[in-house]
Homo-oligomer: A and B are copies of this chain.
Amino acid sequence: MRSVGKSRAATPDAEGAALVSPWPVRKTTQRNRDVKREAVIRAAARAFNARGYHNTSIDEIAAALNVTKPTIYYYVANKEQLLLECILTGLERVLEPFRRPREAGVSARGHLNQMMRHYAEAIASEYGWCMVRAEDLGLAPASLWHIKRLKSEIDQGIRRLLEEGVRDGSIQVQDLKMTSFALAGALNWIAHWYRENQSMTVGEIAEAFIRIFNLGLEPRAAEGPRAAEGRPRRPRPHKEPIP
């Protein structure tokens, strides 16, 4: 799922970088290792989410996975690294749509809407809790720098899409920075109110947010059939607001 996770996962283990085994069992082992490492990070994210970072021990995370503490230390050096991995996992998910080429026929606004769906999924997942508290949990400067770099990449990605949207005619915008901050803020705040037992799915929340940011509050003059958000060439009738 995460390429970053995989590349870093190879570092601490003692298999030796030069020795690449041709036997498939080795590949399976590596895949198993990645799967297990991911399970460790996800379990940590859930525990931090439920009890807070400072109130969670490695023992509790191990217990949730039915393993011992040394098993956790096989995958990460300490609790701080676990927290960092949780935050990076979430941020990498948000970044996914920025790193793949745009589908044919999709406007920049359509791509931005896809990004909002990914963002909502990531922030409403178990990783959301630590993603929005990244700066408050006492991480080391190097970790904070890493987080800041990914957050800046997200911000730049949003601004770039906005600019492209102005060029392809799918977006109107006055202030790129403020628009990026308003979008990210509204999406980040989902982590503060979303609970899995809520009446709406993350997908429904994302569509509601896309609609709000696309259309705005000011009533639009009768414009006839509106361009579909993803593919501006296929017209779709405008739904009346149901307050």
Question: What's the minimum C-beta distance from A23 to chain B, rounded to whole angstroms?
Answer: 49
The interface-forming segment of A34-42, A62-70, A79-87, A213-221 is: A213-221
- The CA-CA distance from A241 to B172 in the complex, in Å, is 6
**A173 in the interface (beta carbon within 8 A):** yes
Report the bound CA distance from A22 to B79 in whole Å: 63
Q: A185 to B189, Cβ gap below 8 A?
A: yes
Q: State A188–B187 Cα separation when bound (angstroms).
A: 11
Partner of A205 from B169, B178, B188, B205 at Cβ < 8 Å? B178
In the assembled complex, the CB of A204 is this many whole angstroms from the nearest CB of chain B, namely 9
Question: Is the pair A212, B182 in contact by a Cβ cutoff of 8 Å?
Answer: yes
A112 within 8 A of B: yes
Ranked nearest first, the 9 interchain pairs of A and B with the lowest CB-CB distance are A185-B189, A216-B216, A178-B208, A166-B243, A185-B186, A221-B223, A186-B186, A182-B186, A172-B219
Question: Is A163 interfacial (CB 8 A cutoff)?
Answer: yes
Contacts of A136 in B (CB 8 A): 52, 133, 136
A109 on interface, CB distance cutoff 8 Å = yes
**Residues of the B chain whose Cβ atoms lie less than 8 Å from the Cβ of A215:** 172, 216, 218
Do B179 and A219 touch across chains, with their CB atoms under 8 A apart? no
Establish whether residues A182 and B209, one from each chain, have CB atoms under 8 Å apart when the complex forms. yes
Given contacts A166-B241, A182-B186, A241-B166, is CB(A174)–CB(B217) below 8 Å? no
Interface-central residue, A169, A185, A226, by most chain B CB under 10 Å: A185
Q: Please tell me the size bucket of the interface on A.
A: 35 or more
Residue A170, interface by CB 8 Å: yes
The reply on A242 being an interface residue by CB < 8 A is: yes
Given A187-B185, A188-B185, A218 contacting B109 (CB threshold 8 A): yes
Contacting A211 at CB < 8 Å: which of B174, B226, B227? B174
Q: Determine whether the beta carbon of A162 is less than 8 Å from that of B243.
A: yes
Question: Are B174 and A208 in contact, CB atoms less than 8 angstroms apart?
Answer: yes
The residues of B that contact A174 with a CB separation of less than 8 Å are: 208, 211, 239, 241-243
**A220→B172 contact, CB < 8 A:** yes
Q: Is B172 in contact with A217, judged by CB distance below 8 angstroms?
A: yes
B193/A181 in contact, CB under 8 A? yes
Q: CB-CB < 8 A to A109: which residues of B?
A: 217-218
A86 to B213, CA, bound (A): 32
- Verify if A184 is at the interface (C-beta below 8 Å from B): yes
